[in-house]
Structure 1
Amino acid sequence: MKHLLRPLLLAALVAGSPAAGAQDLATLAQQKPVTLTGTLDLRTVLYGYSGSITARRKPVSYVLAGRPKLNIYGVAVPLEFVVSEQDRAVRQPFNQFGLSPTYKWATAHLGYRNLTWSPFTLAGHTMLGAGLELNPGKFHFGLMVGRFARATAVDATTGLTAPFAFSRRGFAARLGVGTVDKSFIDFTIVKGRDDSSSVSRQDRLAAGANGTLVQPAENLALGVGTRLGFGKNKYWFIDGDAAVSLFTRRLGSRLVLGESTLPSAVDNTLGRLISLNGSTEAYTAWQAGAGYWKNGRGLKVRYRRISPGYQSMGAYFFQDDVANLTVSPSFALFKQKLRLSGSFGVQQDNLRGQKQLTSKRLIGSASASADFTERFGVDLNYTNFTTDQQQAGAVQVADSFRLAQTTQSFSVAPRYVLMGEHYGHAVLLSVDRSTLRALGSNVLDKLGEFTALNAFLNYQLTLVAPRLTLGATYNYTELDLSQGTDLNQGLQLSADRPFLKRDALRVGLRGSWLAARRFGEPGRITGAGLRTTYRAGQHHSFRLDAAYTAHQPNRDTPISPRYTEARAEIGYGFTF
């Protein structure tokens, strides 16, 4: 065991990226102690232009880039370096290190870890610290202690904050029982507190308004989540999440907490975990749903309500002051050949009546996918969002009191694929239309209206024997605004073919022609390109990528100048 302890401690110090999965200690002895992999890339770029524009880059430039990755007993440490005539740097793309070694049902968290235990308490926040998760059977236990955020002060050069923040420390805990996809109940708690000594008084004054000190805060969030499955296979369910968050915005405030703000029972119990004073406020958030769900088919009904100002130090952002009710059906017919799904509901804000305006929205979306034959199918999508904003208590006598608008989007994408012994055909058509309409007669609202139409038709031909792929794509884009119309349409052709043994050499050609009209001013854009790659064995590769573009409006203006550009890139890659 001693011969495993030293590499394990080294791995904990070196650590890995936050995105890395948990390291299974049960297989540690079978893993290689140290491995080094990565890529090295050298490329030279040639550039030339003509016309009424300024050069976008130097005529000749070079870049040497490397991405080595050191792996120590399964813990990856990626590095990166770049050397060019403009930049010389050595970077560590993941400057937050952490790992989660696992042994059977026990997992330890060390360093920077991003955890989600509840949608309203600990929801995807990155902590720097240490923690432990135990999942023996149906029981869940978790504890994470450390720093939620580091202190940031005022930039002495610019006078700006980046943004201003105290060092924030605390803990998160979880206790529950059950199986996630059937029935369970989980309790979570998050406690965070700002360290007032982590930022100087001068910086607190600079970041405050009207010469006042920015005050540290403290937060206690308690949450519960549950799911109850019914029936033989638990396909029928009721689920929900609820949380209460006590947030003290000014630690050390002399204002006394009133009985009307929080009941004395809360003060006597939770007051032992958080400092309560006149700046303390209580917020709630909850959601509940019920339905039937099996293999992506079923019906869900869900209600979600988040009070104004709700926040937790264990999450970065909440859309607060919102309540919505949604119904989400999903089902399949004709042996899965027709699949339908959607979501429909209503949403509103101003839950406490504290705003001058209340916004009500109808929200809905629907999608359908059909496979009529093995070759032919179609996808349909539709969304509709209608907002009606009314001044609270106002009598509707003029549209100046009202913001009412609807946004709609509809898309259809038929597809046809035919594969034969000697050739293959693929056809895809996609049409998408979006509109924004103001329901009132206010002139300013009408200025924001638009209609956008996007369509493309793609055809691809694959010839099996010569290993040749040919493609043609027609694009059409039209945007109608109150100021005028933008229209672009054009054709792009492409060809791609591998050569030599094991497809070591690949050559691709492309060409495009685009007609454009900018508020009635016509023009065109043409382009051509060549891309070749050659793999010399397992470790070496060479490539050439050249492109030419000509922008040719009918009138040469500062807004739309005439120009041509040519760019060529020669590169070499080494993989180890």
Structure 2
Amino acid sequence: QRPPFFWVINANTTFNIYSVAIPFTATFTSQNSAYTQPFNQFGISPKYKWITGHLGFRSMQFSEFSLGGLIFLGAGVEIKPEKSRFQGKAMYGRLAKAIPVGDGSVVASGQPAYERWGYAAQIGYRLDIGELNFTLFRAKDDASSIDPDTVQLPAQENIVTALSGTINITPKLSLSGEFGLSTYTNDISMPAAGENDYGYANNFRFLYTPNASSVRNGAGTATLTYNLGKSNLGVTYRRVGPQYKSMGAIYLNNDLENYTFNAGTNLFNSRVALNGSIGLQKNNLAGDLLNTDQRIIGALNTSVMVTKKIMVAANFSNFRSSNEPSATNIQDTVRFVQVTNGYGLLVGYSTGNENVSHGINTSGNYQKADAIQDNSVFTITDGSEFYNANVSYSLGFPKLKTTFNVAGNYNRFVSAAVKTEAYGPTLGATKSIWRDKVQGNFAISYIDNFQNASFLNNSVSYLFGLGYKIDRFNSIRLDGRYLSRKLAGNLRGSETQFGVTYNFNF
């Protein structure tokens, strides 16, 4: 159960002092002490001409395969001189806070982990036809940040070098890409390796010492794009080696190779937009797995402005995976194929004048996944289906600054083991008065849930909000929610929430 009372303070502002722009962000909450990862965060990014600094909780983008988008606590700088072809950036800070083994008194937001620190540097050179960037990133766990006797967890270390850039071959043809090399040590407590064991890592032995647990791998991507004005064509190749990892990447799939062709165009004075892609993907790049997965990946998206009042959008995706055994000498070979198809449709209609407006939106989505296993004797087909449908209508009175909404939603999931359904309506209204100084809203939502055609539960939610703009600097808002739930067997439960938000802008 959540605590009955908590508070959150968010700050987001920019100071301008003697031509120096200083963006500042901060988040403070009463729940920070109950979590092992920091909820209270603050940071500033002052900028003067072509120099930008970062201090506090910040994120910087170096490259996809080295350090990109990860929030760190520390300092950084970006330099982009206007009259120089060279540019650069650097950072140093804590990438992750230590998570000790929980004793029940704290809420751990993850598995036990060491405190992790790292630094990165990038130097770039701007060409007449593009730019090139070289990145060096290094990170290491602090083995003393948690008690190693309480958890069987080795401290790790990582160094990544990456080369990225963009080249405009012609005014219409461009090439962009990145190539990274990573040496990842899974246990820094092991003895150092000989100098002849890791040729690449030896170039950085003054920064990094590999050992028997170190794994070296590469990753790269390249995209060739041809721009035809209202249309474009592109080809992308992407390869992320087996066991490729970077401590600076938030999420990165490895052991994959992709070939993708994509195209897009606008027709009939941009009233019709078409975008699509198709490609191949496979794993087991080192050939050391029992099976190799191969996939056909494709997607098509289109939007059409039928009239000024009617818009139609549709999408389709098809992902086909096949699991081919690598050991072809096995007689009783089983082949596994998974096919996932997805379809979506959205139709919108809007009309109105200065007195009244109408809006109708309908949407539907369908997804089906089939699993097929076959050999010379039999074929088994199994899968799951997901359906979603939504329809909504809004009636607005611009002069009265009042809007009414009604909507209905339906969800269905079907598999061999279970079938679930959920559906219900929502009614709502919004109103502004007193020269927009006061805004109010109210909504009620009802949902029925079924499992295998048997009643599971239903719920009714009442939501309301009331906001008041005191002046151009201050505003306050009150929000409330009451949830009533009925379970099978006439069991009942309820939950009430209230919140007050105060905003100060200057």
TM-score bracket, shorter-length normalisation:
0.7 to 0.9
Instruction: Give me the whole-angstrom Cα distance separating, in 1, the residues matched to 2:501 and 2:202.
Output: 67
Aligned counterpart, 2:370: 437
Is the counterpart of residue 132 in structure 1 residue 71 in structure 2? no
1:226 aligns with 2:174: no
The one of 327, 339, 353 equivalent to 1:393 is 327
Separation of aligned partners in 2, 1:262 and 1:319: 24
Q: Tell me the secondary structure at the aligned position of residue 435 of structure 2.
A: helix
State yes or no: 1:319 paired with 2:266. no
Whole-Å Cα distance in 1 between the matches of residues 395 and 344 of structure 2? 25
1:445-460 equivalences in 2 (<5 Å)? 449-460=383-394
Does residue 462 (structure 1) correspond to residue 404 (structure 2)? The answer is no
Residues 397 and 433 of structure 1: CA distance in aligned 2, closer, same or farther (over 3 Å): farther
Partner of 2:148, secondary structure, is: helix
Determine the C-alpha separation between the residues in 2 that align with 1:126 and 1:532. 33
Contact preservation (8 Å) 2:303, 2:311:
yes
Aligned to 1:35: none
Q: How does 1:45-84 map to 2 (within 5 A)?
A: 63=5, 65=7, 67=9, 69=11, 74=22, 76=24, 78=26, 80=28
- Once the two structures are superposed, the pairs formed by residues 29-178 of structure 1 within 5 Å of their partners are 63=5, 65=7, 67=9, 69=11, 74=22, 76=24, 78=26, 80=28, 95-137=40-82, 138-149=85-96, 151=98, 153-155=100-102, 163-178=111-126
Structure 2: distance between partners of 1:514 and 1:167:
44
Quick check: 1:154–1:161 contact (8 Å CA) kept in 2? Answer: no
Quick check: 2:300–2:315 contact (8 Å CA) kept in 1?
Answer: yes
**1: CA distance, partners of 2:482 / 2:99:** 45
How many equivalent residue pairs? Answer: 491
Q: What is the CA-CA distance between 1:173 and the residue it aligns to?
A: 1.7
2:148 — aligned with what? 204
Structure 1, residues 31-60: CA drift from partner, whole Å, max 9, x if none? xxxxxxxxxxxxxxxxxxxxxxxxx999xx
CA distance, structure 1, for counterparts of residue 286 and residue 207 of structure 2 = 28
Which AA in structure 2 matches 1:408? Answer: N
Q: Is the 8 A contact 2:315 2:345 kept in 1?
A: yes
1:289 to 2:228 alignment? no
Task: Indicate if the aligned counterparts of 2:223 and 2:236 stay in contact, CA closer than 8 A.
Answer: yes
Distance 1:254 1:340, change over 3 A: same
Name the residue aligned to 2:416.
Answer: 482
Q: Secondary structure of the equivalent of 1:283?
A: strand
Q: Distance in 1 between matches of 2:178 and 2:469?
A: 57
Q: Distance in 2 between matches of 1:346 and 1:169?
A: 37
Amino acid at match of 2:350: V
Tell whether the 8 Å contact from 1:505 to 1:532 is kept in structure 2 after alignment: no
Q: In the TM superposition, what is the alpha-carbon distance from 1:217 to its structure 2 partner?
A: 4.2
8 Å CA contact 2:28, 2:40 repeated in 1: no
Q: Name the CA distance, whole Å, in 1 between partners of 2:116 and 2:54.
A: 19
Residues 374/392 of structure 1: CA separation in 2 closer, same or farther (3 Å cut): same
What's the TM-score once normalised by structure 2's chain length?
A: 0.81
**Structure-2 change in CA distance of 1:290 and 1:475 (3 Å):** same
Amino acid at match of 1:136: P
Pick which of 153-162 and 296-305 moved more.
153-162
Higher relative contact order (CA 8 A, sep 6+): 1
Q: Whole-Å Cα distance in 2 between the matches of residues 537 and 161 of structure 1?
A: 38
Question: Aligned AA for 1:122?
Answer: L
Cα deviation 1:269-309 (Å, max 9, x = unaligned): 44454324444432111111201247784122111111111
Kindly tell me: are residues 134 and 208 of structure 1, through their superposed partners in 2, closer, same or farther at Cα, counting changes over 3 Å?
same
Alignment partner of 2:209 out of 275, 279, 286: 275
Q: 1:153–1:161: 8 Å Cα contact kept in structure 2?
A: no
Q: CA deviation at 1:319?
A: 1.1
Structure having the higher Rg: 1
CA distance in 1, matches of 2:96, 2:483: 48
Unmatched segments (≥5 aa) in structure 1: 1-55
User: In structure 1, how many angstroms separate the alpha carbons of the residues matched to 2:2 and 2:380?
Assistant: 42
More helix by share: 1
| Gap runs ≥5 in structure 2 | none
